[in-house]
Amino acid sequence: MSKSQKCRLRNILISAFLFLFALIFPFKKFFPEKTADILSAIIFLGAYLIIGWSVLYKAFRNILNGQIFDENFLMTVATIGAIALGDYKEAVAVMLFYQIGELFQDYAVGKSRESIAAMMDLRPDIANVIRGENIEEVDPEEVEVDEIILVKPGERVPLDGVVIEGESRLDTVALTGESVPQSIGVDDEIYSGSVNQNGLLKIRVTKPFGESTVARILELVENASDKKSRSENFITKFAAVYTPVVVISAVLLAVVPPLFFHGEWSVWINRALIFLVVSCPCALVISIPLSFFGGIGGASRKGILIKGSNYLETLANVKTMVFDKTGTLTNGTFTVTAVHPDLIPEAELLEFAAHAEGFSTHPIAQSIKKAYVKDINIARVTANEELSGEGIISIVDGKQVLAGNGKLMATHMINPHECHLNGTVIHVAIDGLYAGHIVISDTIKPDSADAIRGLKANGIRRTVMLTGDKKAVAQDVASQLSIDECYPELLPQNKVEIVEKLLSECKESDKLAFAGDGINDAPVLTRADVGIAMGAMGSDAAIEAADIVLMNDKPSDIVKAISIARKTLRIVHENIIFAIGIKLLVLILAAFGHATMWMAVFADVGVAFLAILNAMRCLR
């Protein structure tokens, strides 16, 4: 809780205590009637000043700055009007409820996010530059195009370039979101932000740091927040028109009849003050934040964290839903999805492959060993050589076992069989004879298909998938899930470009949401009208950049979130229509002298109470 929130909560508690004390304590039992009334009024005024001082100060400050008609000014005029009528309880209660509503709103929004700080882990601190016979550690911003840099195993690539010497596996999960490392060698293009896993690489720099992939990602996160479309607070917009109209009308009501129509000043001033009490936007300033807070609270109980009421409102108007693939629609962990034997039984093929991969820590090796289930007997493996970018050569039970890609098979003059399935194919050969292949792929989450169907049933007109994965794999997933459009083989900046294009194609009232889980998704999450992060497995950067976090990692929770948002917005609209309708009716009656103070109190406190009861439906 921030310092300002603690201060507001403290003032609410003190003011509420004084308010209840003044209501309950029997002053007239211990003091003369006049003295009792004075003491009661003093306590009520003390409670009013404690809870309302910040509102009075803001109203006065805004007047000095030329911003007269806002909700602070209206609250000030309405409550001071109530005090002028001698209704101290009304003034304190209205201001107390207003501050409670503001506190709810503060809690709903939460602390400001530090997405840029989270992204800074991508930025390398140094670059090892080869200059003459020396290797110098310098800031990546000081490295020039065509200079040669050295990237050791475990280091993050500091600049974009081309490999001129060495082979390795590259962890690109921070850029593309894909779990399986890429094999890289001479003449291959390499991107900054990737992590070199096991080989020593010499790289010729092709772009200065300011234009590199990692710099582009950081820049996108910094600038995308400025382009975020946000719903303005309804109360502020409403008060900009409502407040001056009501205040001017009250002044005219108090002055015009006595001056021009011989009315009694006391009668018309009393009507004007009733007019002001009725005009207090209590029902709106309490019920609207409370409705959103209820919706946010109801969503949180279902594992859906919404970072503010403006995002909830935007979510209700989403018509285009864009997804990242890996970790969002798929599990993001690679498993054996098929075993296709050729000369030997399926179990034996998996057994030989698992033992051949027994010493490897590569994700592909781990998935094969996991599929084998049984314990690996390392004693059966008498030799093992891992070839970067190709696979493994092992001696298992005295037999030579090759397990790798088509390049490894071609090197040993073995013709592998083509596989009709999409995924990473590991070919296996035993003593020079092709034994079959194993298919490893990312699996679709169990509820992804239900999520897409649910979104379309809820009026989502367009579903889109963006991924850094290969075209065939991406199209296969999109086809299985009935996704309308698919864009494969993308880098983060490409994803932002496509989201920009999709946003330009949306109608002004229709919103676009993006769901993703990786660091590479952070720029897109901040650029979309509303960003949704898969929280439990997602990166810290994605969670910080997003407006909504799904803690259960279930795509179907997006359907729940949209349903909650739409129900909440429906209740908000009901409260707005009800509150404004009743107030306009009583305001007209007050202007013609047909409204009593009781009617004014009902139009204020009564309407607010009914609106709050309606808002509490959001909690369910």
User: pLDDT tens, 192-203?
Assistant: 888 888 889 999
Task: Clarify whether residues 203 and 62 are in a common domain.
Answer: no
Are the CB atoms for 525 and 514 separated by under 8 Å?
A: yes
Task: Classify residue 63 by burial, with Cβ atoms within 10 Å: 0-12, 13-18, 19+.
Answer: middle
Band the pLDDT of 517: cuts 50, 70, 90: confident
Band the pLDDT of 421: cuts 50, 70, 90: confident
- Where does a domain end: 181, 207, 224? 224
Confidence at residue 320, expressed as pLDDT on a 0 to 100 scale:
94
Confidence at residue 359, expressed as pLDDT on a 0 to 100 scale:
87
pLDDT in tens, 440-485: 888 888 899 999 999 999 989 999 999 877 788 888 889 999 999 9
Span 334-340, average pLDDT: 89
Task: Clarify whether residues 429 and 417 are in a common domain.
Answer: yes
Per DSSP bridges, beta strands 318-324 and 511-516 are parallel
Q: What Å distances lie between residue 231 and 47, 110, 228, 315, 529, CA to CA?
A: 34, 17, 10, 11, 10
Band the pLDDT of 43: cuts 50, 70, 90: very high
Are the CB atoms for 454 and 555 separated by under 8 Å?
A: no
Confidence at residue 70, expressed as pLDDT on a 0 to 100 scale:
64
CATH number at residue 381: 3.40.1110.10
pLDDT for residue 415 is more than 70: yes
Confidence at residue 449, expressed as pLDDT on a 0 to 100 scale:
93
pLDDT in tens, 530-583: 989 886 544 556 666 778 878 677 899 899 999 999 998 888 888 888 887 887
Task: Clarify whether residues 324 and 453 are in a common domain.
Answer: yes
Let me know if residue 578 belongs to a domain: no
Span 152-162, average pLDDT: 90
Confidence at residue 109, expressed as pLDDT on a 0 to 100 scale:
46
d(CA 72, CA 241): 14
pLDDT for residue 346 is more than 90: yes
412-432 b/e with 16+ CB inside 10 Å = b? eebebeeeeebbbbbbbbbee
Confidence at residue 163, expressed as pLDDT on a 0 to 100 scale:
93
Q: Report pTM.
A: 0.61
Task: Clarify whether residues 491 and 421 are in a common domain.
Answer: no
pLDDT for residue 610 is more than 80: no
Greater pLDDT, 305 or 569:
569
Task: Clarify whether residues 74 and 45 are in a common domain.
Answer: yes
Span 505-518, average pLDDT: 85
Task: Clarify whether residues 419 and 491 are in a common domain.
Answer: no
d(CA 41, CA 563): 48
**Mean pLDDT of all residues belonging to the chain:** 81
Task: Clarify whether residues 322 and 343 are in a common domain.
Answer: no
**Domain tally, the chain:** 4
Percent of the chain, pLDDT > 70? 82
Domain hosting residue 209, numbered range: 122-224
Confidence at residue 175, expressed as pLDDT on a 0 to 100 scale:
59
CATH number at residue 175: 2.70.150.10
| 324 flagged as catalytic | yes
The active-site residue out of 324, 476, 521, 553 is 324
Let me know if residue 574 belongs to a domain: no
- CA-wise closest residue to 328 among 180, 477, 440, 222: 477
Confidence at residue 408, expressed as pLDDT on a 0 to 100 scale:
92
Let me know if residue 570 belongs to a domain: no
Let me know if residue 16 belongs to a domain: yes
Span 47-59, average pLDDT: 90
- Where does a domain end: 224, 253, 271? 224
Highest-scoring range by mean pLDDT, 112-116, 134-138, 489-493: 134-138
- Where does a domain end: 205, 224, 243? 224
Task: Clarify whether residues 18 and 105 are in a common domain.
Answer: yes
Greater pLDDT, 543 or 109:
543
**Residues, the chain:** 620
